[in-house]
Chain A
């Protein structure tokens, strides 16, 4: 396994701007998760994909957030009209169908000024 990769690693933006993050899961992992981690807290679930289908979204995922996984491989998470409260670490994880372990990427740290 080459591991889960995420880009960019850091993003600084001004309030009101749109940002997009990318996650490349471990190859052949058909399950992909997004989590958000704020300072001093554990990661919180945002959304889940099985192949290209988005099967669950957290109430944390407001309508400013959208996620896609168009071909069942990489995924993108877009935040529109960013707010300072969106500042957090955004983590991506993947797992395969027959194993329960989720493997995490290094995360994208978003700072909204």
Chain B
């Protein structure tokens, strides 16, 4: 079965330090991978995606993610965290067995950036 794992419920980082939010996936075939961010009582905002090509993907608000096929990972990174980055982050994979492009989400990682 297709799945996404976010092994950390919460990540704490000091403002100005680099941050990493981890994601691993299990799919058959080539994965389409996504990162979304959710602020309290809000919907999900798209950050970035990997479809094919360069393994390093750059997205919104200075975030980037690195696709690693051998480790089946797609970790989200940012060189310098801001307090305003504090939010809930979701990794998702498009179900390659589905013709509808439905997404399978991880359980989310709460990022807390301390000033």
Contacts and interface: CB of A to CB of B under 8 A. Distances in A.
A45 B43 contact: no
Nearest to B98: A56
A56 B105 contact: no
A41 B101 contact: no
Contacts of B105: 42-44
Contacts of A85: none
A37 B100 CA distance: 19
Chain A contact residues, majority secondary structure: strand
A43 to B, nearest CB: 5
B43 A106 contact: yes
A67 interface: no
B108 A91 contact: no
Contact of A43 (B46, B100, B103): B103
Contacts, number: 64
B1 to A, nearest CB: 13
A74 interface: no
A91 B38 CA distance: 12
Interface in B1-58: 4, 32, 34, 36, 41-46, 49, 51
20 contacts: A4-B43, A6-B43, A33-B102, A33-B103, A35-B103, A41-B107, A42-B4, A42-B107, A42-B108, A45-B102, A48-B100, A48-B101, A56-B99, A100-B49, A102-B46, A104-B36, A104-B44, A104-B45, A104-B46, A107-B42
Interface of A: 4, 6, 31, 33, 35, 40-45, 48, 50, 55-56, 91, 93, 95, 100-107, 109
